[in-house]
Structure 1
Amino acid sequence: MSLYKYFENLNFVNCFHLIIFIFLFYVFQFYYKYFTRPNKLPGPFPLPIIECAYCFRGDIKQLFISLNKKYGDIYEIQLGGLRRIVLSRPEYFEKFFNNSIKHAKFMPTAPYSQGVKELRKSGKGLLSNDDFKSWKFARQLFSRAILSPSFNNETIKWTKLLFEELEGYWKSLGSINSDGKEWSLETDFSKWAHRFTNDMIVAVITGERSYSMGSYYNTLSPIKASYPDALIEGADRFVRGINKIVAGVTIFTFLSPFIRHYVPFIRGKTNEILKHRDFIFDKLDQIIKKRRQEIEVMQNKDLKNDMLTSLIIANTERDITYKMTIGEEIFPPMPEIEIRANIFSTFLAGTDTTANLFSFVTYYVCYYPEVKQKMLAEIDSIFPPNNSFQLTHNDLSKLKYCEAIIKEANRICPVSNLLGRYPTEPIEVGGYQWPAGTMFHFDLVSLHRHKDYWPNPETFDPDRFFLDNKNESFLDVKDDDLIKDKNNQKEDRKVEQKYSFIMFGGGYRICPGRKLAMTELLSLMVYIFGKYDIELIDMEAPLKTKSSIITYCQRLMVKIKPRNQ
């Protein structure tokens, strides 16, 4: 009560002095912690409250490129209340990606984050789940569904059906040439890529149709797609929501709650992202509820082969061939909130990443005609022109040069800019001993262009991967109970060779959807480049990108016309 009376009797001057005292105490504590930190590394000097956010100019990729040039392959930066150690040399990564470490002490990607918890609302999902048993259970369910032959066949089937729909839109929008025999279309390829991958991921993950390609077509054509307006509008909002969330993850990862919710410009972006999140969650809840009802009705019938069905029936009476265990513990069926979280994580990780990477592939293939000719020769040798064919997984696995193009495009312009690990035990990295709970980031942009490991790193050259006989196909991956990364388990390769290229992460947290992504990318290369001639409208224009946690293609203007075979 006496303390209450003290504050009640404070006048304006006293309140002002108290605020100044509290602020000075905070500044003193902030810099005392900074100057007494262990293993002092070079890096930008932090300021109170905003820390090193003043270095950020709107593009994460350019930020870390500039910091790498200034401070080298190991430095530190203060963001979001954390000291972050940034690494960009392959030998620094080996311990983090080693699956044999007991108890997966290098499995967590980040400490507890109020921002990430706020964004996901409830439920953990694969992306942000650091409880090892819970994560491993979800990961095994995910892998069982996504790596099954039936799922692969569904992926190829949906790629064909959706591409045929895409063809129809292109032909409708195209203008007939003067000879009246051919049509051509000038369009923003990146917009179509994003719509295609959204419709694709919705179909293969949930078994439901999305109509985002039709939505985009309606914005370009006076003749509208023959789908109900509600479906078109819902699909368009869904795509915009996913794009906004992916672009805004940086806000929830690197900025404090105070900045997110009280700085005017950022507060507006935060609220916009949360509104998109709520819409997507409501939509997913509707899809899950509908699928549960379908499963209950189809008692003695074959169920769909999508991931949503697998997650719903896992460890239930309908899942009579499989009981998921971790050690001796049998897990119960997955709660609905976790099903939604895992589907949401899949959308975030699998929609924009695939669309942007295929946009980058298209740009570099069109920019380098010798690469394009070599690619077409390989496609034509396996899928003869002017002949009908049925894509199979076996045929796609023969496209070695096409896969080399995909890898080189991701090397020179990685879709994911940063990976994170938050070890739960002490670790030695870069000649320093680090305590448990140190936040590490892997700068993939600088890693993939490191002059010590990549000759002529700025040159686009798929032969780096095509001529490497030790470089195995991502189409051959098979996750076992330990979630081993086949590409990172080869003992006959030097550390710097193994980790100088990281496309899908590594270790326990390697992307479980990498096979799906490669299947979709290779299928698109066969369908699009096998049937159509794609040219850049302006060969002098640079690839237009912007980066947050991922780098996304903002605009890619191309001319599309049927290929003269």
Structure 2
Amino acid sequence: MVFLDIITALKFKDYLNFIIFSFLIYVFQFYYKYFTRPNKLPGPLPLPFIECSYLFDTDAKQLFISLHKKYGDVCEVYLGGFRRISISRPEYLENMLASSATDTTFMTRAPYSKGLEELGMAGRGLIFNHDVKSWKYNRQFFNKAVQSSSFNLEAIKWVDKIFQEIEVYWKSLANNNNLSRDDNLQDNKNNWCLETDLSLWARSFTSDMIIILTTGERSYGIALLYNKLSPTKVSRSGTLIEDSERFIQGISKQILGVSYFMFISSPLRHSIPFVKKNVKSLIENRDYLLERLEMIVKKRKKEIEETPIGEELRQDLLTSLIITNTERDKDNVKAIDGKILRPMTDVEIRGNMLDAFIGGTETTANLFCFLTYYICQYPQVKQKMIAEIDTIFSQSTCLNHEGLTKLEYCTAIIKEVARIIPPLSILARYTDKPCEMVGYKWDAGTIFHVNLNGLHKHKDHWSNPEIFDPDRFYKKKDEDRHKYSFAMFGGGLRACPGRKLAMIELLSLLVLIYRKYDIELVDLKAPLKTKSAILTICKELPVRIKPRKLDHFF
């Protein structure tokens, strides 16, 4: 009763004074904590409630580039409720990126996050799994599937097969365009030219590739793209995902949306009008992707249940994850770190599949687009690359793993493009115990971000870092440069498990395209059109594709 009497006795002015007083206390505490923080580093001044969100428009790449330019190799920024340490110098990464099965200090990419939980990616799979034990468990079986020699050979087979399908569509589109212009269908297979957006084909290709390698079934995203561009249509039966275009776009959207949930706090995500609208769309996209994955897992589980014990199952990532530590698992791993292992749950399987789709589509598709852009911009590089391809792969030579390993100059081009414009903008690490980094001692719970753009273009480690020069990597040993000055696939135990597949796809595409076709930019002077968040995505790449003029072409 006394409390109620006090409440009723208060006037509006009293409530207002209380709110102002509470706000001032919060601001005082906020800045007291900021100005008394240990290991003070340069960086933008955070503001109460919004921290440094006033600098962040979801483009993590440009944010960390601007921080490096203004504050140097080591600086800090406050986002998403965390103090984040940005590092752009190779010498500081020895502890973080070194491979060690026993030291788990830098094994976690990010702490538990309500934002990533909301996005459906926290504590699952590999990419954003904050639970070290769970991550080790998933990594054991993910790596077993995607890094085996049989998986690599299967990848080469499907690259060749899907590209043959693309070739048919390219010629058909070119002839349809010619027919619509002058009613003169060109039957000479070496006399056509197609203008198209290569980024669409690259995404459809990598999507079809990762779906067949992950699930053992086709999705026919390439055919769907052809039907969208052509007046004549093709039909495909038995497709795993009916709306492949939406699925491909959904994966891209999921990746771009991560920055909203990592760097913007929950109150801001759900209150700022334009952010709130985007978050709602991302949640709807999350639900769509998880629904599709659930359907795929249930379908394959039923097929396995109906297959007699002892009968050979197809080799794909999904099947491997489903039969893990069951009676069907021929390579049953009994334990990790002394802990008895169990079969995977559906949630764990879906998490690993989502990671496979995310890691196996956008990064490879965008890097191939960047490759094409730079190869077109530098004719001397293009000539040298084609000469190497023609030497190792004649027109009659089948695509093979041994030949791909001999493509040293092609590999150098891939690495140099990844240095100039890395598809992934930052590497994140979270410490679960006290550590020492960049000459300071840090408490457990510190988040570090490796600024890959700063790392790959650091003037102390790269001469003329803004200049495209594949010779930096051609016939050069890794020991010739600082081992952490280039981190194309990350480093340490958190290195990308799909790195072999990515290189196989990129090298195979270079061979299959450039030994038979010539590609040039529609507008050589136009800048590369990209959109950045945590990944840098090629928005559009208009090119002309036509067969090479070769006497021995057949």
Return the TM-score normalized by structure 1.
0.91
1:529 to 2:538 alignment = no
1:459 to 2:444 alignment = no
Letter in 2 for 1:29: Q
Hey, what does 2:398 align to over in structure 1?
390
Conservation of the 8 A alpha-carbon contact between 1:215 and 1:233: no
1:293 to 2:312 alignment = no
Hey, what does 2:221 align to over in structure 1?
212
Alignment of 1:152-191 (within 5 A): 152-174=152-174, 175-176=177-178, 180=186, 181=188, 182-191=191-200
Hey, what does 1:447 align to over in structure 2?
455
Hey, what does 2:546 align to over in structure 1?
561
Partner Cα separation in structure 2 for residue 210 and residue 101 of structure 1: 37
2:205 pairs with one of 171, 184, 196: 196
Moved more, 550-559 or 131-140: 131-140
Going from structure 1 to structure 2, the CA distance change for 1:465 and 1:28 (only over 3 Å counts) comes to: same
Hey, what does 1:306 align to over in structure 2?
316
What's the CA shift string for 1:281-328, capped at 9, x where partnerless? 111111111111111222232111110000111111001332242132
Aligned length: 540
Partner Cα separation in structure 2 for residue 2 and residue 99 of structure 1: 64
Hey, what does 1:277 align to over in structure 2?
286
Partner Cα separation in structure 2 for residue 341 and residue 547 of structure 1: 24
Return the TM-score normalized by structure 2.
0.93
Conservation of the 8 A alpha-carbon contact between 2:58 and 2:260: no
1:504 to 2:486 alignment = no
After TM superposition, give the deviation of residue 62 of structure 1 in Å.
2.1
Going from structure 1 to structure 2, the CA distance change for 1:166 and 1:3 (only over 3 Å counts) comes to: farther
| Structural RMSD (CA) | 2.0
Partner Cα separation in structure 2 for residue 467 and residue 357 of structure 1: 22
What's the CA shift string for 1:458-496, capped at 9, x where partnerless? 11111111131x24xxxxxxxxxxxxxxxxxxxxx48x6
Moved more, 59-68 or 529-538: 59-68
1:428 pairs with one of 427, 433, 436: 436
Going from structure 1 to structure 2, the CA distance change for 1:118 and 1:555 (only over 3 Å counts) comes to: same
Conservation of the 8 A alpha-carbon contact between 1:154 and 1:305: no
Partner Cα separation in structure 2 for residue 152 and residue 532 of structure 1: 25
Letter in 1 for 2:535: I
1:252 pairs with one of 244, 248, 261: 261
After TM superposition, give the deviation of residue 224 of structure 1 in Å.
2.3
Alignment of 1:112-123 (within 5 A): 112-120=112-120
Partner Cα separation in structure 2 for residue 287 and residue 8 of structure 1: 60
1:332 pairs with one of 337, 342, 346: 342
Partner Cα separation in structure 2 for residue 316 and residue 371 of structure 1: 51
After TM superposition, give the deviation of residue 531 of structure 1 in Å.
1.6
Partner Cα separation in structure 1 for residue 6 and residue 413 of structure 2: 71
Conservation of the 8 A alpha-carbon contact between 1:123 and 1:337: no
After TM superposition, give the deviation of residue 373 of structure 1 in Å.
0.7
Hey, what does 1:479 align to over in structure 2?
none
Alignment of 1:16-31 (within 5 A): 16-31=16-31
SS of equivalent residue, structure 1 residue 265: helix
Going from structure 1 to structure 2, the CA distance change for 1:72 and 1:169 (only over 3 Å counts) comes to: same
1:139 to 2:139 alignment = yes
1:317 to 2:327 alignment = yes
After TM superposition, give the deviation of residue 395 of structure 1 in Å.
1.5
Partner Cα separation in structure 2 for residue 96 and residue 219 of structure 1: 46
Going from structure 1 to structure 2, the CA distance change for 1:464 and 1:281 (only over 3 Å counts) comes to: same
Letter in 1 for 2:463: P
Letter in 1 for 2:236: Y
After TM superposition, give the deviation of residue 204 of structure 1 in Å.
0.5
Partner Cα separation in structure 1 for residue 438 and residue 53 of structure 2: 25
After TM superposition, give the deviation of residue 13 of structure 1 in Å.
3.2
Going from structure 1 to structure 2, the CA distance change for 1:324 and 1:382 (only over 3 Å counts) comes to: farther
Going from structure 1 to structure 2, the CA distance change for 1:10 and 1:523 (only over 3 Å counts) comes to: farther
Conservation of the 8 A alpha-carbon contact between 1:190 and 1:553: yes
Hey, what does 1:51 align to over in structure 2?
51
After TM superposition, give the deviation of residue 244 of structure 1 in Å.
0.9
SS of equivalent residue, structure 1 residue 519: helix
Hey, what does 2:526 align to over in structure 1?
541
After TM superposition, give the deviation of residue 239 of structure 1 in Å.
1.1
Conservation of the 8 A alpha-carbon contact between 1:241 and 1:276: yes
Letter in 2 for 1:245: Q
Letter in 1 for 2:271: Y
Hey, what does 2:418 align to over in structure 1?
410
After TM superposition, give the deviation of residue 548 of structure 1 in Å.
0.3
SS of equivalent residue, structure 1 residue 95: helix
SS of equivalent residue, structure 2 residue 515: helix
After TM superposition, give the deviation of residue 172 of structure 1 in Å.
1.6
Going from structure 1 to structure 2, the CA distance change for 1:344 and 1:10 (only over 3 Å counts) comes to: farther
Going from structure 1 to structure 2, the CA distance change for 1:7 and 1:98 (only over 3 Å counts) comes to: farther
Unaligned runs of 5+ in 2: none
What's the CA shift string for 1:222-274, capped at 9, x where partnerless? 22231379978621111111111111110011000011111111111111111
What's the CA shift string for 1:7-35, capped at 9, x where partnerless? 56654433333332222222112111111
Conservation of the 8 A alpha-carbon contact between 1:425 and 1:435: yes
Unaligned runs of 5+ in 1: 472-492
Hey, what does 1:517 align to over in structure 2?
502
Conservation of the 8 A alpha-carbon contact between 2:517 and 2:548: yes
Letter in 2 for 1:431: G
Partner Cα separation in structure 2 for residue 556 and residue 9 of structure 1: 69
Partner Cα separation in structure 1 for residue 14 and residue 168 of structure 2: 73
Alignment of 1:229-248 (within 5 A): 234-248=243-257
Going from structure 1 to structure 2, the CA distance change for 1:309 and 1:4 (only over 3 Å counts) comes to: farther
After TM superposition, give the deviation of residue 205 of structure 1 in Å.
0.7
Hey, what does 1:341 align to over in structure 2?
351
Hey, what does 2:537 align to over in structure 1?
552
Conservation of the 8 A alpha-carbon contact between 2:217 and 2:240: no
Partner Cα separation in structure 1 for residue 212 and residue 296 of structure 2: 12
What's the CA shift string for 1:67-117, capped at 9, x where partnerless? 211111001111111111100110110001223373411101112211111
After TM superposition, give the deviation of residue 547 of structure 1 in Å.
0.8
Partner Cα separation in structure 1 for residue 10 and residue 3 of structure 2: 11
